[in-house]
Structure 1
């Protein structure tokens, strides 16, 4: 049997994505940094929150044009304490409002205050959401993996035990770390993951106003310098990752993996026998071997 591995665009085996909440005025500076280093992020916005510390909605379409905008509910409530009707309204109306403002589909969600349950997840699915960022991150797992590796005098563990694994369920999407969790050191660990038989993801979350509060904008600048412009990293929004996975899962492989048909509009990439990157354009049938 010929061996085919899933790959990210261009044959890459690593992906970086960021997720930032609330749309406060500090997003101006964060966006300037991200655009300077060509790093993509998802910005989770509340369409019914309007005051002087939040960016005006008149600016959203232009300001966030290089990034994704996702639902953060209309008013930023603690969702698990809300009634079913209120939960539905908070999700659906924020989605409607953001789509009207941005003039593009909005299919992602980050829960405010980290509050959610399985009923809310199921409701979000029924409303057309393709992913949801849930509370917390994998930072504790990363610390445990490094401790184990040090005690065992062995290599750092692979996959999700390092915090750089690929989620099994995008509706329960847990980030790698908050930006205050040794961000630059983790970026260096991520860069040093070179085994191409694995896929790796680094997912950073936070709030841009925290950089003002903690007076540590230099942290984000250093992170961007360290991790940007890497040939083996795909820089993507949350939704781009989910949509790419959907496209890969739609591929139709022939017996023995000799050919593959791509019914999607977008190109999908695979690695053949570990070392040959093959692009499968949308609508095309490609000979693999």
Structure 2
């Protein structure tokens, strides 16, 4: 039986994803920096607060965040673990409906406002069409989550960002998959007067051949697509029922399993 291991697209073994909340005006500058270095971000917005207190206006969203992911952060940013489930449902579904009407794709992600969540919140999210929930609990690690509804980031950008980036880019053992996940609020760079920090970070980690630059939902989709692969009992071939390609390392040989195809793994 061949030895089969998942790889990220094009055979990469590392992925970088960024996650920023609240949709303030500073997102414009942050997105420009990401675009300059080929880095992708997920931006969690509040549909009931658009245009208020230095927040991005509705008519700007589609163009500003083009090429990145828009995700929910609730309509009005309540502490949802303290809210009745009826309010939780309305807050998230109203957020989804508003942003889907703007960006014209299905909005499927979430970050917990005020870092607030519990088991009930996690259990409800799949029924609201949400496929992941990001917490504010930094781990300092580079692992793929076991539970995407309790997706703990590597770090807030204030926490050892450059040191962690150096560690990340020097990870070389390809028998593992590594993920660096950075979160924060773009307006913090204004408050702390340290835009140079994120610029230096992006210069350090951007444009590298061994890193996959992905939004949050692209990572979720890729991992789910891998889990849906239908391998033969002896792993000599596999069928991919999803629409996206999955990359496999088969006995040290890289094989692309295209969406909707049966692929031989042993010739």
Q: C-alpha deviations, 1:261-285, integer Å up to 9, x for none? A: 1111111110011x21110111111
Paired position in structure 1 for 2:167 = 189
Root-mean-square deviation (CA), in Å? 0.9
Paired position in structure 2 for 1:228 = 206
Paired position in structure 2 for 1:41 = 41
Matches within 5 A, 1:5-16: 5-16=5-16
Matches within 5 A, 1:79-228: 79-139=80-140, 163-228=141-206
How much has 1:184 moved relative to structure 2? 1.1
Paired position in structure 1 for 2:258 = 281
How much has 1:135 moved relative to structure 2? 2.9
Q: Secondary structure at the match of 2:48?
A: coil
Paired position in structure 2 for 1:148 = none
Gaps of 5+ in 2: none
Q: Secondary structure at the match of 1:33?
A: helix
Paired position in structure 2 for 1:147 = none
Asked whether 1:272 is paired with 2:250, we answer yes
Q: C-alpha deviations, 1:214-243, integer Å up to 9, x for none? A: 011000010001101111110000000000
Return the TM-score normalized by structure 1: 0.90
Q: Secondary structure at the match of 2:61?
A: helix
Q: Which of 244, 247, 251 matches 2:225?
A: 247
Aligned residues, how many? 265
Return the TM-score normalized by structure 2: 0.97
* Large movers: runs of 4+ above 4 Å: none
Gaps of 5+ in 1: 140-162
Q: C-alpha deviations, 1:4-61, integer Å up to 9, x for none? A: 0001100111100010000000001000000000100000000000315001110101
How much has 1:67 moved relative to structure 2? 0.2
- 1: distance between equivalents of 2:209 and 2:108? 28
